[in-house]
Structure formats: C-alpha cells, structure tokens
C-alpha cells in the first residue's frame, strides 16, 4: 500500500499537516504540480516568506522536496511521491495530531462542497457516504487497503499536467474510525 507514497507515522510530522495553507499546497504538489514558494503563497493567500517557512517545515518531514530550478532564481517545490499516507497512531500524541490534521482536511472538504455552484453540470457527482460497519481488526485493515487501492487505480498515471481529456479535479476523502470499546481477546 505504501509503494511510491510518503508514509507519516511520527505525530510531529502529522501535526505539520494541521494547517489549511499547508494542505492546500500539498494537494497541488501531490497532483503533480511543481511550484515556487511565490506560487504556493498566491494559492494559499500568504506572503512568500510565510509560505517559505511552511514549505521548509514540510520538507523537514519529507512531505515536500525541492525540485530542480530552471533559471536559478526561484527554487521550486514538488511532492517526493505520488501519494501521502497518514498512519493511525495508538498513542495520545498520535491521536491528537491526527485529529488536528483531520479537522483541517474535513473543513477543506466542506469548503469544496459549499463552493460548488448550484448550476454545475457535475453537481450530481458530489457525494458523501457514512456507514457503520461491524468489522474485525483484520477486516478493517483490509477495508482501508482496498479503499486505498481503488483510489490509486484512478490516480495512476494522471497528474495536473497529464490526464485524459474531459477530466476534472475531483477531491476524495474516506475515513475509517473505530468506535466503542475494543473487544477483549
């Protein structure tokens, strides 16, 4: 599942994702774009110096990396892999970091729903699904792997600059959260 993906397990790395500007930029970079700090700043509504700070913080955790510069003046940034996986943590700090990151991600998804114009011809393609399943630990792990494989199948070979005609950017999010008491062995 982690092939050509950055896998974050350290709570400090996960917490680094808990910022709206960082997640906006990560979305663009992981879609295949290569962007300068100035372009990232414009996207996120920040100053270039503030965005440089955020990019360096993400770089420390291997979430983004510097790309080759074509003119030597601007230093562009890119994603080091095709995907990013935030691994669940069973520690208190891991859970808190994951919750902070997820709040930002969910808020962004709600913004995308709110920004979709009522007359958008793709409006019927918007969806949200909630389910309550009764699964074993192994089945839960298999569900996560299968959902990731499905997403990867649609992502494969498609980037911001290289995708079939008549396509459009579609954001996805799925969450798997155990609830209630864990069964006793």
Using one digit for the tens of pLDDT, what is the confidence trace for 134-157? 999 999 999 988 998 998 898 888
Whole-angstrom distance, CA of residue 63 vs CA of residue 80: 7
Q: Which residues pair with 86 in a beta bridge?
A: 8
Please tell me the predicted confidence (pLDDT) of residue 64.
97
Please tell me the predicted confidence (pLDDT) of residue 1.
44
- pLDDT class of 68 with cuts at 50, 70, 90: confident
Q: What predicted TM-score, i.e. pTM, was given to this entire model?
A: 0.77
With a cut of 60, say whether residue 93 has pLDDT above it.
yes
The tokens of 39 are what?
């372009």
Whole-angstrom distance, CA of residue 169 vs CA of residue 125: 12
The larger pLDDT score, comparing residue 55 to residue 132, is at 55
Domain-wise residue ranges, the chain: 5-114
- pLDDT class of 67 with cuts at 50, 70, 90: very high
In sequence order, the 6+-apart residues with CB closer than 8 A to the CB of 76 are 34, 35, 36, 66, 67, 68, 69, 70
Share of the chain above pLDDT 90, in %: 44
Task: Report whether 176 contacts 143 (CB < 8 A).
Answer: yes
Architecture of domain 5-114: Orthogonal Bundle (1.10)
- pLDDT per residue as tens digits for the range 5-25: 899 999 999 999 999 999 999
Q: What is the mean pLDDT of residues 128-132?
A: 84
* Strand residues in 20-108 grouped as ranges (E): 65-66, 77-78, 83-86
């Amino acid at each position: 599942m982690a092939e050509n993906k950055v896998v974050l397990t350290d709570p400090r790395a996960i917490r680094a994702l808990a910022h709206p500007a960082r997640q906006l930029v990560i979305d663009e970079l992981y879609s295949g774009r290569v962007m300068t700090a100035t372009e990232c700043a414009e996207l996120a509504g920040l100053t270039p110096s503030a965005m440089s700070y955020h990019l360096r913080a993400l770089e420390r955790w291997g979430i983004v990396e510097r790309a080759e510069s074509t003119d030597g003046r601007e230093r562009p940034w890119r994603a080091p892999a095709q995907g990013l996986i935030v691994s669940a943590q069973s520690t208190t700090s891991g859970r808190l970091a994951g919750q902070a990151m997820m709040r930002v991600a969910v808020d962004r998804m709600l913004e995308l729903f709110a920004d979709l114009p009522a007359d958008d011809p793709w409006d019927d393609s918007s969806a949200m699904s909630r389910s309550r399943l009764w699964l074993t630990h192994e089945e839960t792990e298999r569900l996560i792997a299968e959902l990731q494989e499905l997403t990867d199948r649609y992502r494969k070979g498609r980037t911001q600059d290289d995708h079939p005609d008549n396509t459009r950017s579609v954001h996805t999010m799925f969450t798997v959260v155990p609830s209630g008491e864990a069964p006793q062995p």
